[in-house]
Amino acid sequence: MKYKLPRTVVILGLVSFFNDMASEMVTPFIPILIATVLGAGPVVLGLVEGVADAAASFLKLWAGRFSDIKAGRRKRLVVSGYALSNFARPLLGLVSSWGALLLLRSVDRVGKGIRNAPRDALMADAAHSSMHGHAFGFQRALDNAGAMCGSLLAIAALMWMGLSVSEVILWSVVPGVVVMLLLVFGVQEPPRQEARMESLRAPLVWSVLSRPTRRYLLVLALFTFARVSESFILLRGNELGMSVVQILLLWATLNITKAATSTHGGRMADAFGLGHLTMTGWLGYALSFFAFSQMEQVYSLWISVVAYGLVTGLSEGSERALISVYANENERGTAFGWYHLAVGLSAIPAGVLFGTLWHYWGAGAAFLFAGSLALACVLLLRLWGFAKGRL
């Protein structure tokens, strides 16, 4: 490639690595806590995960827009968001009710809402336009690798250090501190021209986006109803009789397979088209969930998770990089805010719907519905959502 990944992209990739290491010392335990300690089921899990992802939906749009208005704000918002999440997340080890779990999980996601759009815009600002797929794929690869390491650390803590689940969650504060040090001392925000910033329209005006962007975001919002929280895969493992350690190993396997293909998928997206790689990943998601709907044995769950991780990892970078193609430099934060808003607003009904289908008709019916909807979104993206050019 003609251009190397800039320092800002590399540091933000490392930030994602350590942040997800901290997160995945906590996240895999949430369905276990709900099903055992708190005595709840899939509907509550769907509510918790849906609210957690949607709690800060408008914050995502505001943060992206706010970072566009004046140069120098992107880094401050990113630092603030990561600080809030890494303060709230370890406290999940102390919860004794699902209401408290819902509150802390939502606070964690408020931090995510503040940081995500400015971080993605910061990466797009730093990387050359010809390598946005590579940059976002690299970030997603380190994100998934950190999740894998967090799961393995949790396993080691449970098996060889004799820590309880609550103690493992509390220890997630350590990689969280590393995140903050990397952000404060390692990230520099590239200078931007501010001449056109005052002419930008209000962030909640839908028409400010181009027609291809609006179409893509509408299809993406529909796809969110299929792409429910991966915590349901862990819940399925719990139903099939897997131990806590086996569930953590399954989670680590999921993340390492996604990490194995994310960077390569980003490079492929730059070479062959961001839209084509996104569509390939969504098709893999649909086929994987069809497989999840049919499995009744633990070994089949392992096979399905590996296939799911390898295929969907290919498109994680391209899905976000599409936004940077549509948006100009001074509107990237706002465009990424709309992206995260579209995903976030769909999260609550998607999670509750999936959990309700699971509760009344079983896991097979829920996964079959999600796979069918994902397949419909692949066709819709191909026929209606594609813009001309390199997509």
Mean pLDDT per 10-residue segment, the chain (391 residues): 76 93 82 62 63 68 77 85 91 77 81 87 80 81 85 83 83 93 88 53 59 78 78 81 81 83 74 77 86 83 87 77 68 74 75 83 88 89 60 53
Q: How many CB atoms lie within 10 A of CB 201?
A: 10
In a domain? residue 238: yes
Which residue do the tokens 């001392």 mark?
A: 185
Query: Which residue's entry shows tokens 């699902």?
Result: 98
Asked if the structure places residue 263 within a domain, the reply is yes
Q: Identify whether 242 is part of a domain.
A: yes
Query: Which residues, at least 6 apart from 111, have a Cβ–Cβ distance to it below 8 Å?
Result: 56, 80, 81, 82, 83, 84, 85, 86, 87, 88
Q: Would residue 391 count as lying in a domain? A: no
Is residue 205 included in any domain, yes or no? no
* CA separation for the pair 284, 124 (Å, rounded): 26
Residue 317: which domain range? 8-186+210-385
Amino acid 388: pLDDT: 44
pLDDT, position 48: 65
Asked, for residue 60, whether it belongs to a domain, the answer is yes
The C-alpha atoms of residue 380 and residue 383 are separated, in whole angstroms, by 5
- 196 found inside a domain: no
Measure the CA–CA gap between 254 and 378, rounded to whole angstroms.
Answer: 22
Structural domains counted in the chain: 1
Q: What is the pTM of this model?
A: 0.69
Considering all CA atoms of the chain, what is the largest pairwise distance in Å, rounded to the nearest integer? 60
Which residues contact residue 47 at a Cβ distance below 8 angstroms, ignoring those fewer than 6 apart?
102, 348, 351, 352, 355
Report the CATH number at residue 306.
1.20.1250.20
DSSP state at residue 190: P
The verdict on residue 1 lying in a domain is no
